[in-house]
Chains A and B, each alone.
Chain A
Amino acid sequence: MKSNNQLKDYLLYSHNSAFMKIIRLLLILLSCSVMTAGQVVTQDDSIRTVVLQEVAVSAKQKNQQQNLYNFFSTNKAATTEDILGRFPELSLVRRGSYGMEPTIRSFNSSQVNLLIDGMRIHGACTDKMDPASIYIEPINLNSIEVNTGGRDFLNGSSIGGNINMKLAEANCHEQPVLNGAVNSGFHSAANTFYQSLSVDYAGSRWGLRASGTYRKSGDYRDGSGKTVSFSQYEKVNYSINGKLVLSDRSYLKIDLLADDGWNMGYAALPMDVGYANARIGAVSVIKEDPSARWEKLEAKLYANKIKHFMDDTDRPNVTIHMDMPGESITTGFYAEGTKKARRGKLSLRADASATTLKASMTMHQPGQSPMYMLTWPDNRQVQSGVAAQYAMRIDSITQLILNARTDISAYSLTSQMGKDQLAVFNYTDDNNHFYIPSISMQVSRRLIGKLKAALSVGINGRSPSASELFGFYLFNQFDGYDYIGKPTLEQETGMLTDLTLSYQQQKWKAQATAYVSRVKNYIIGRLTPDFSAMTIGAKGVKQYANIDHAVLAGAEASLVYEPSTKTQFVTTVKYAFGNDDLGKPLPMITPLRNISTLRQFFGNLWLQGEAEFAATQNRVSKVADEKATGSFALYHFRAGYKQKVKNLDCQLNAGIENIFDVHYREHLDWGNIARPGRNLYLQLGFAF
């Protein structure tokens, strides 16, 4: 167990909050399970033990993901987006410095479920400026779980997979403990300032955790020294988590989260965001009993309301000013349980949610009636699904995971004006039902020594999104067309397979995955030359349509090398490829990309060098008028220092990002907007 202790040591510098403690313990356990497969771990804290055992059993395939998450979340100055962007499976679509949209393996956001603690949250912005990930600050993030397409769809059916961001939780402790943390930071490229605070009380019967973050950022400076106008933002985020012990094995959990952003610029879009509010709440009852037949049972009721107000008030040379408010309300529940089954475990889940959306556009011209229309004709989506996952051990080296899920999703228009608008396109049937079955099988087997292979095959699907069904002249700055929905769209059905090879030992943890998906009825905008564009300056109108199929394929690999407890080297590489049914490239496909990081500890100090490479992307979609993106190389330097002063954990993080002030943009960045240039940052944190 010596290596475990060493691991514990190196993680000590980051144990400033409760979730880090959990992560630390998780990592210890994971490494333990790797080295001594099957060895029973005992801990004195019962709740933690439960968490650990759950992960130990169900997360074999997530080892590498956890390794990477732990590694990258060590940088306390990193935002949630910074952490997301480091996952080899994920890419970020950028429209502004705020609200980058995470996607999995070049599947777009409609094809991916982005969940917060298993909750569905639908953005209120027709231009996807508000992915749910903006509501999670590192201070209230416990962990990120990425499930690619066919691996695990307990949480919901999708084509591309799901990203579940788990919220930090309060703890209970026999001896009441009060913990707290304060973090402040500054970034020079945009004069960003942030301040976060968390207080954690762990009592014997109940626990309460409260956290808040404030961020203010000005316009950033790009690599050519130019200030990028409309890239500022300001926001506050608050969250409260309460835990009440109901019995030895069960507890009640309450989550309340509020996020208010204002004055947010979107440099790549013609409009900015005046304000965006989110109110998210959930009540859960959880029963955990490793000795019982049902090891874990959880039921959750949740509701969230998102408001988003887009306008172009501050933009110069606007002929007619435009307001575009939107609102999304979702209520839902899920119940899930994991029970012991023959040679393994069976997880069951049932969930349902209802989302109502409305968004409109108003333009004001003196002397005329206001120009008003519904950009999302008022609509409701009711989704419900049941899912099962059976993980079983065939023999000592072979494991089988079977996944099945079926979803029924129904959309309806809820206002007469909405129906009247779509009648313009001769659509009278406003009731759309989709029945989506998903099934997958994954076999993993130890081949030779510590080399393991996992092969999965599956069929999945998704219903079209509200924008794809009902969108009404939604301007898409990416290709310059107004988009209209098509209520008669068919659902997308994916057939996918992926193969993962992993090699894990104490010093080397390597994993490589190749995947290919064939998506039938792939939804994409198709030019409708007869229609005239609504937006001034738009090139024309595109309507969402099913093309026969699209093929998305790619590979990702990662390597974690720890020659000693003092040195860590992490490198990830990914490549993706997408073609439509005519063999033409799909838009928004990440080019070959690599991130390599070397971290060295010197006692309480660590230093880190980081290199990012992206290849040229010349495979661009002509139809979408997509531009090629050149290659670039970025170098970052980071450092962290931790010192315990009496009972106070003090830590300092500092670094220089984009040291050589490279003027660049990523392929998934909208508009021809360069990313920030050289950035010096400083972060200071205290925890008790």
Chain B
Amino acid sequence: MKKYFSFLLFLFIGVTSCTKSNIESEQPLPYQKIVEGYVTGAAVKVELFAKQGLTTGYNTIYIALFDSVSKQPIENAMVTIFPVMDMVTKKHSAPVENQGTTAKNKLFTSAIVFTMPSGSMGTWTVDVNVQYEGKQGKTSLPVTVLESAKSRLKSFVSKADNSKFFVALIQPDDPKVGVNDLELAVYKSKSMMDFPADSSLAISLTPEMPTMGHGSPNNIDPIHTTKGHYKGKVNFTMTGLWYLNLDFNAGTAVADSSTYFELNF
């Protein structure tokens, strides 16, 4: 009888604990909150999210806006962000992408290509501009950018016209053996504050395993799609350290042939 009772008790605990876990199963945001603040002019609370912490290279920034009064998430607003690096003696910005006016899953999406980490050299802030229901405001949010452990950002000076370019590796972020999507973003450094997306260069890709001195077959060179993004395919035949060697051509002239990303997986 005692055994039977214990069994019932066990069953009961089992059922209740199952119920409990079912209630809690609502998915939390898969992103990490970076910083939050108030855009007083627009009466909006702003929260910035990223997949992980911010690092040098391409970072997708997810922006959540909340009405300061109703506390409700905002789905329609004009939001732009602008990174600023303050190096005491000078300031500069970095390539940035601002998407639009409509939130997807209550998040607005932008991206920043941080060109250097925060530290003794200077500090990063992200200016957030919001236009919401006829009101407009701006706030500056301090952020910390770490040096990326992976190789995600390169720059070169074009041999064709001496202008400086930034190249960010977006994909593969988590490389695997087999066929991988390749996505790069290319920006021209026009001034300290202006880094427009560039679509003028033709890119050819040669993966290489430097330790072994071999490549991989059937890669597809990245071609320009939109906003400086180039998409192609890269194949890896094994794990280990790979170089993605990139050649950039401006028309018939060679712009650069020394840039490569390192992938160690």
Chain A residues near B (Cβ < 8 Å): 320, 361, 363, 365, 368-373, 417, 419-421, 423-426, 472-473, 530-534, 536
Contact = CB atoms under 8 A, between A and B. Distances in A.
Give the dominant DSSP class at A's interface: loop
Nearest to A422: B178
Given A424-B216, A534-B214, A536-B213, A371 B239 contact: yes
A373 B239 contact: yes
B179 A373 contact: no
Contact of A365 (B176, B179, B240, B265): B240
B214 A533 contact: yes
Given A320-B211, A424-B217, A369 B240 contact: yes
B212 A320 contact: yes
Contact of B217 (A420, A425, A536): A425
A423 B211 contact: no
Contacts of B238: 361, 371-373, 534
A576 to B, nearest CB: 36
Contact of B178 (A320, A368, A417): A417
B215 interface: yes
Nearest to B211: A365
A370 B214 contact: no
Contacts of A421: 177-178, 237
B264 to A, nearest CB: 5
A312 B168 CA distance: 40
Given A424-B218, A534-B238, 13 more contacts: A363-B240, A368-B240, A370-B239, A371-B212, A371-B241, A372-B177, A419-B178, A420-B179, A424-B179, A472-B237, A473-B237, A532-B217, A534-B212
Nearest to B265: A369
Most buried by B among A361, A365, A369, A533: A369
A532 B215 CA distance: 6
Nearest to A536: B212
A424 B178 contact: yes
A423 B181 CA distance: 13
Interface in B195-239: 209, 211-218, 235-239
Nearest to A361: B238
A530 B209 CA distance: 16
Given A417-B178, A420-B176, A420-B177, A368 B241 contact: yes
A370 B213 CA distance: 16
Given A363-B240, A420-B178, A425 B211 contact: no
B176 to A, nearest CB: 6
26 contacts: A320-B212, A361-B238, A363-B240, A365-B241, A368-B241, A368-B264, A369-B240, A370-B240, A371-B240, A372-B238, A373-B177, A373-B239, A420-B178, A421-B237, A423-B178, A423-B179, A424-B218, A424-B235, A424-B237, A425-B218, A473-B237, A530-B217, A534-B212, A534-B214, A534-B237, A534-B238
Interface residues of B, number: 22
Contacts of B240: 363, 365, 368-372
B62 to A, nearest CB: 30
A252 to B, nearest CB: 45
B239 A369 contact: yes
Contacts of A533: 214
A511 to B, nearest CB: 51
A473 B214 CA distance: 12
B242 to A, nearest CB: 10
B207 to A, nearest CB: 10
Contacts of A369: 239-241, 264-265
B241 A532 contact: no
A500 B63 CA distance: 86
Contacts of B209: 371
A420 B174 CA distance: 14
B171 to A, nearest CB: 16
Contacts of A419: 178
A472 B215 CA distance: 14
A320 B265 CA distance: 17
A15 B127 CA distance: 97
Contacts of B212: 320, 363, 371, 534, 536
Contacts of A371: 209, 211-212, 238-241
B222 to A, nearest CB: 17
Contacts of A425: 217-218
3 closest residue pairs by CB, A with B: A420-B178, A371-B240, A373-B238
A426 B218 CA distance: 8
B237 A373 contact: yes
A365 to B, nearest CB: 5
A618 to B, nearest CB: 35
A530 B214 CA distance: 12
Interface centre among B178, B218, B237 (most CB of A within 10 A): B237
Output the residue of A371, A473, A536 with the most chain B CB within 10 A. Answer: A371
A118 B19 CA distance: 57
A171 B123 CA distance: 88
B72 to A, nearest CB: 43
Interface in B116-173: none
B220 to A, nearest CB: 11
B177, B235, B236: residue with the most chain A Cβ atoms closer than 10 Å: B177
Contacts of A373: 177, 237-239
A424 B158 CA distance: 32
A419 B177 CA distance: 10
Nearest to B236: A424
Contacts of B179: 420, 423-424
A474 B238 CA distance: 13
Nearest to A537: B213
A425 B212 CA distance: 20
